[in-house]
Amino acid sequence: MGAKYQIRVFGKAGCDKCHTLNQRLEKILTKSDYTDFEKVYCDVESLDGLVAFSEAECINPSRIPAMLVTEWSEDEDEFIPISTLEPGANDSVCKKAKLYQYLGLQTDYSDLGKGIISPKMIQSVLAEAQN
């Protein structure tokens, strides 16, 4: 069997923040704690990427880049989004970047979020998936 978890990264060509999120994820996934994860990049300006983005159903298009964590389901024979345990709960690490319904992050461009998805935020979400 392949990876237990798949991280879908939604971005577009020429986006510096998309590039940064991909680099941060790739660096994190080289660590031994994250061997159960694989990353799939979904370019929202391509047909396949747009379909994947639409199927995610939970990401605001104006808050790209974003990432969604999915888990392999034997019953469904595909990766399915992991539900958030406490939708809307305050998160001291991810703040407003955390997705509401499913486990993942989207860029918070407000003064609070400053458009940054930090390595600490990524690791927090991946740890929640593993628990």
Question: Which pLDDT does position 21 carry in this prediction?
Answer: 96
Cis peptide before 65 (omega within 30 of 0): yes
> In terms of Cα–Cα distance, which of 67, 62, 61 is closest to 42?
67
Q: Give the tens place of pLDDT for each residue, 28-72.
A: 999 999 999 999 999 999 999 999 999 999 899 999 999 999 999
Q: Give the tens place of pLDDT for each residue, 65-91.
A: 999 999 999 999 999 999 998 888 889
43 phi, psi to nearest 5 deg? -80, 110
Can you name the residues that pair with 37 across neighbouring β-strands? 5
> What domains appear along the chain, each with residue ranges and CATH number?
5-130 (3.40.30.10)
Torsion of CA 112, 82, 41, 12, to 10 degrees: -40
Question: Which pLDDT does position 9 carry in this prediction?
Answer: 97
